[in-house]
Amino acid sequence: GQQVMQIPQYQHVQEGEDFTTYCNSSTTLSNIQWYKQRPGGHPVFLIQLVKSGEVKKQKRLTFQFGEAKKNSSLHITATQTTDVGTYFCAGPTGNQFYFGTGTSLTVIP
């Protein structure tokens, strides 16, 4: 069946270090979306990429959609304690919508 895997599952970084999470789908996605979920909270939409090879930036966050539309990455430059949470990629294929397994980020002050 369809799978959307993310690595790493967990990441601990010192404040100021960079962080990257990778997302890989077993099938082509129509678009890729990224969500952030703070501990005890609900997912919050960050961004959507649609085009093959697309790169978008939001301040310290850089998002990339792979050429084959099956993988994506989120890179955070100079992490801050406010970046703590779990980051999920997600996307549609056919009439289904799949979330990745998530990467939990801990930032050590």
Partner 1 sequence: IAGITQAPTSQILAAGRRMTLRCTQDMRHNAMYWYRQDLGLGLRLIHYSNTAGTTGKGEVPDGYSVSRANTDDFPLTLASAVPSQTSVYFCASSSGASGWNEQFFGPGTRLTVL
Sign for the pseudo-dihedral over CA of 66, 55, 23, 12: positive
Q: Which residue in 14, 42, 59, 109 binds partner 1 (CB under 8 A)?
A: 42
Q: Which is nearer to partner 1, 7 or 78 (CB)?
A: 7
Q: Which residue in 48, 62, 77, 106 binds partner 1 (CB under 8 A)?
A: 48
The contact pattern for partner 1, residues 51-90, with x = CB under 8 A and - = no contact, is: -------------------------------------x-x
Tell me the C-alpha to C-alpha distance, in Å, between residue 43 and each of 9, 36, 57, 85. 17, 5, 20, 10
Q: Which residue in 39, 59, 95, 109 binds partner 1 (CB under 8 A)?
A: 95
Measured CA to CA, the distance from residue 88 to residue 26 in angstroms comes to 16
Q: Which residue in 33, 64, 72, 79 binds partner 1 (CB under 8 A)?
A: 33
Measured CA to CA, the distance from residue 48 to residue 8 in angstroms comes to 21
